């Protein structure tokens, strides 16, 4: 059995398998049913590891062990595997979510918070800064800033960025508005994101910046998050954001933004 390395690599990422698992699985798919010894020879996986790999694949819902001797394993339809993997992921995610939710009232959280509070006493505000890699990490941090905002939020983004931030930031912005936070959003408004802009207009003052391409957020005139790359040209995995806690720079940038804000077209 010859399977291209590129294909195996894609399967590893999609199904979160290691190299031996994906080799044994594809080998079994090519046979339908087979013994561990046969699969070891076909997949070029050491025989000493094959049984462990098959047991792992069985637990994950990729294969079924056939009754009788010699012990054989049966491949499931790829469509069925996808459904099983999806269900297992949801169950695992729900279990982890429940465990984390329980921590809110647990002494573990109190101890962690105490460690953080004691440690941060000796840190200058300007030291609270860093680089974030990957769009999901960036959006998680933006959401944190929105949740912690006390007075103002200023968001400048691209047309596509506005659409992506709908699901990520809108719920937190709704809560921020209820706290009395003033929210302003500037982005190019197009036919594709016009409805999204109207949804954001329920919690923020939003204006059309036409052809301006910029990506940053200012919070409480103290914290700044800006993205280094054009989101139209960079893969989400390689997106980079810089977070700074600098009142001096944040206020200067906000003053410049105030001048430009007056010239932007308001969206209602």
Contacts of 170 (CB under 8 A, 6+ apart): 199, 200, 203
Query: What one-character-per-residue DSSP string does 66-110 give?
Result: ESSSS-EEEEPPHHHHHHHHHHHHHHHHHHHHHHHHHGGGSHHHH
Which among 114, 159, 164, 156 is positioned nearest to 135, based on CA atoms? 164
Contacts of 253 (CB under 8 A, 6+ apart): 216, 218, 224
Q: Quick count: other Cβ atoms within 10 Å of Cβ 17?
A: 21
Q: What is the pLDDT of residues 88-134, one digit of tens each?
A: 888 888 888 888 887 777 777 777 777 666 655 555 555 567 899 99
Q: What is the pLDDT of residues 121-169, one digit of tens each?
A: 555 555 567 899 999 999 999 999 999 999 999 999 999 999 998 889 9
Task: Say what the pLDDT of residue 114 is.
Answer: 73
Average pLDDT, the chain: 87
Task: Say what the pLDDT of residue 120 is.
Answer: 52
Please, what are the domains in the chain?
Answer: 5-77 (1.10.10.10), 127-267 (3.30.870.10)
54 near 44, Cβ under 8 Å? Answer: no
* Reported confidence tier of residue 265, pLDDT bands at 50, 70, 90: confident
Q: Quick count: other Cβ atoms within 10 Å of Cβ 209?
A: 21
* Reported confidence tier of residue 259, pLDDT bands at 50, 70, 90: confident
User: Is the pLDDT confidence value at 71 over 90?
Assistant: no
User: Is the pLDDT confidence value at 69 over 90?
Assistant: no
């Amino acid at each position: 059995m010859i399977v291209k390395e590129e294909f195996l690599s894609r399967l590893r990422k999609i199904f979160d398998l290691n190299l031996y698992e994906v080799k044994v699985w594809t080998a079994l798919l090519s046979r339908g049913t087979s013994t561990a010894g046969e699969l070891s020879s076909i997949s070029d996986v050491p025989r000493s590891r094959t049984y462990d790999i098959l047991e792992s694949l069985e637990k994950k819902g990729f294969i079924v062990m056939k009754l009788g001797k010699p012990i054989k394993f049966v491949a499931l339809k790829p469509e069925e595997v996808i459904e099983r993997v999806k269900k297992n992921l949801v169950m695992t995610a729900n279990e982890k979510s429940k465990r984390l939710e329980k921590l809110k009232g647990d002494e573990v959280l109190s101890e962690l918070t105490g460690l953080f509070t004691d440690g941060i006493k000796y840190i200058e505000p300007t030291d609270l800064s860093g680089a974030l890699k990957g769009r999901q990490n960036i959006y998680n941090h933006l959401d944190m800033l929105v949740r912690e905002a006390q007075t103002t939020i200023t968001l400048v983004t691209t047309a596509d960025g506005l659409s992506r931030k709908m699901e990520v930031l809108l719920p937190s912005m709704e809560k921020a508005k209820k706290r009395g936070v003033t929210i302003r959003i500037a982005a190019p408004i197009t036919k594709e994101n016009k409805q999204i802009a109207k949804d954001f207009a329920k919690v923020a003052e939003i204006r059309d910046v036409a052809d301006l391409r910029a990506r940053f957020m200012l919070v409480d005139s103290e914290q700044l998050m800006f993205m280094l790359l054009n989101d139209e040209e960079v893969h989400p995995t390689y997106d980079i954001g810089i977070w700074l806690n600098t009142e001096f720079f944040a206020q200067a940038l906000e003053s410049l933004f105030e001048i430009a804000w007056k010239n932007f077209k308001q969206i209602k």
